[in-house]
Structure 1
Amino acid sequence: MSGRKTAVVVCPGRGTYNKAELGYLGRHFPDAALLAAFDAQRAAAGQDTLSALDGAERFSLAQHTRGDNASGLIYAATLGDFLAIDRERIEVVAVTGNSMGWYSALACAGAVSAEDGFTVANTMGTLMQEALIGGQLVYPFLGDDWRPDPARKAALLATVAEIDTRSDHTLALSIDLGGMLVLAGDEAGLKAFESAVEPIDGRFPMRLGNHAAFHTHLQAPVARRGQAALALDLFDQPALPMIDGRGAVWWPRSADVHALRDYTLGAQVTETYDFTRAITVAAREFAPDLFIVTGPGTTLGGAVAQSLILADWRGMGSKADFKARQDSEPLLVSMGMAEQRGLVAGQ
């Protein structure tokens, strides 16, 4: 890359701190004092510190993917990567995120302080783990070529809607995630969908372990507890534009802070998170040179690329189109990939 680039930063959500990410904070987090402050918060609450979790000898699926542990680890890894971006080479023009990545986006954009953002992410992750209402699964609607297929998506969503009308069944679109549908509901609803669709590649539909029915009305009790626990004074005007899970932009110096808190602890918890729409708005509103996906993990890049294809951005209509564009001049940088991190991170 040559010259200073503009970038939209994309913050990942749950499911991105896995075995390969063990030690991520130790390798990459740039501010020891800030990490110590996060650890102090968790120690005061009787929780394992991030340093202990990240520095464990072995990755434990049961321990590291729990909401009360995963949320803090992912938030810290995301924020650390954001702080590591080289601002002499990169001008960040906006921030967005996927699902719990919204909490990270708030901190990256300055709408909450780093420590208050940790309080929000850690509190909500803990409350969701304590309640653990329902579950999630993932199912793709795009083929291997990533060409848009609105009819297939509509048919799958019609199946979801029909299942949700059945007695004692709950099922809804949790996250519109590029070429994937993340569905959430109760056990009856999830099982009914699994029975209704064709298996794909021996992987899908894929249940997501330690995940609740995020972004559905089933999370209303969690939203109420979050609203009771997290005060308005944690929130402030953002210093950077933020694109939320509806595709709405929160602009610096003009955001309604009351509305921002209400959204973060209300609709963001209980209504569908439209990540595809957020990326579409980010592309069309800010037209960045780059989309930078922070760590941890490397899985969100595909959803960003698929979202850009679905938006017909810069004429890209397939996976091959995206790959050709990416090969000629990188459009997407994943900081979780060692070979790409150096394109945007300071030395």
Structure 2
Amino acid sequence: MKTAAVICPGRGTYNAAELGYLATHFPDPALLSQFDEIRRQAGQDTLSELDGAERFSMARHTRGDNASGLIFAASYGDFLSINRNEIEVVAVTGNSMGWYTALACGGALTATDGFNVANTMGTLMQQALIGGQTIYPWIGDDWKPDFARKAELLQQVEAINAETDNELYLSIDLGGMLVLAGNAEGLEAFEQTVEPLQGRFPMRLGNHAAFHTSLQEPVASQGQQQLSRDPFGQPELPLVDGTGRIWWPGATDADALYDYTLGAQVTQTYDFTRALTVTAREFAPDIFIILGPGTTLGGAVAQSLICADWRGMDGKAAFQREQSEETLLAAMGMQDQRSLVAK
């Protein structure tokens, strides 16, 4: 039996190619009906309606109040689809809103409570829509870490943030990418300062707010008012959060887990690279399973493992060798890799 660490994706992973993902892959129609009822009670389009739309709409499907529910359900459905007769899940982590999914996959929240947290926070963020995000790489096409370049970019961020009227912060440390967040002035200052790369960076992310920064404190406060502590409990699987901390079964303070989830997780940098480093070194899984939807997180996972010097990998070529020989990563959003780990 193989051991696996499960990785839950965040916002930006349900796009045009994923339309119909729930209809195709979600394994529990009764549970999906429960998710739909939660949305219906809130006066929102159901997931079945969104996923079953004739065409994908950027304006409709990527809104926080719709995207969060779609992504949570797609990821949780994939978690249920893992072949547990052949794969032992030893830890769960996630990127950004994927932390909410991880809580449910790891058993600290029920499926419906986890969905309610993800849906509520996505809705609150959409309603507030404070600030925005942009993304910029600090490693080249060979994926060889250039930590001096990363430090230089972060110094630029600090300098921009220090200027009057500018707010700019590291939102997510995402493998070889920096996801930056701030107000319009701060984002524009950065985008005008750095060299354009690959014809697409710096890339402003549509319908994204200044996640994981102090700008989200009003949203965190609203989340704490709307979401109860009561559903949070002991995880059944170890959970690795956005600081690299492990929440162990039988040794987790449920109040502290709630406080982190609706506090620091919302208002402070989410260090996905650190989460992957800790997951790899602490649990040494045979395989990393990236839940769907989407296929965009694989590069960040591979780059995070390279940054962690996992198995001596020093760049893209080394990762590709390992992947071809032993399948280190299996992304369930890719049908050929899904078949390796799904029932």
TM-score range, shorter chain: over 0.9
Q: Tell me which of 240, 244, 249 is aligned to 1:247.
A: 244
1:157 to 154, 157, 174: 154
Equivalent of residue 200 in structure 2, options 199, 203, 206: 203
RMSD: 0.3
The one-character-per-residue Cα deviations of 1:240-281 (angstroms, maximum 9, x if unpaired) are: 000000000000011000000000000000000000000000
TM-score normalised to the size of structure 2? 1.00
Q: 2:69 aligns with which of 46, 68, 72?
A: 72
Q: Structure 2: which amino acid aligns with 1:191?
A: E
Cα displacement string for residues 180-206 of structure 1 (whole angstroms, at most 9, x for unaligned residues): 000000000000000110000110000
The offset of 1:234, in angstroms, is 1.5
| DSSP-derived class of the 1:91 partner | strand
**Which residue in 1 is equivalent to 2:145?**
148
Distance in 2 (CA, whole Å) between partners of 1:264 and 1:234 is: 13
Picking from 279, 282, 289, the partner of 1:285 is 282
Q: Is 1:184 paired with 2:173?
A: no
Aligned partner of 2:19 among 8, 22, 27? 22
**What is the Cα deviation at residue 227 of structure 1?**
0.4
Distance 1:46 1:57 in 2: 21
1:328 maps to a residue whose letter is: E
SS at match of 1:235: coil
Give 2:112's aligned residue: 115
Summarize the alignment of residues 78-97 of structure 1 with structure 2, pairs less than 5 Å apart: 78-97=75-94
- Give structure 1 regions of 4+ aligned residues with deviation exceeding 2 angstroms: none
Match in the other structure for 1:103: 100
Distance 1:217 1:280 in 2: 25
Partner of 1:266: 263
> Partner letter of residue 100 of structure 1?
M
CA distance in 2, matches of 1:15, 1:318: 25
Q: Which residue matches 1:168?
A: 165
Code of the aligned partner of 2:119: N
Residues of 2 paired with 1:234 and 1:252: CA distance? 16
Aligned length: 343
- Please, which runs of 5 or more residues in structure 1 have no aligned partner? none
- Provide the residue aligned with 2:42 in structure 1: 45
Q: Name the SS of the counterpart of 2:3 in structure 1.
A: strand
The answer for the alignment partner of 1:10 in structure 2 is 7
User: What is the TM-score normalised by the length of structure 1?
Assistant: 0.99
**Correspondences of 1:255-334 after superposition (within 5 Å):** 255-334=252-331
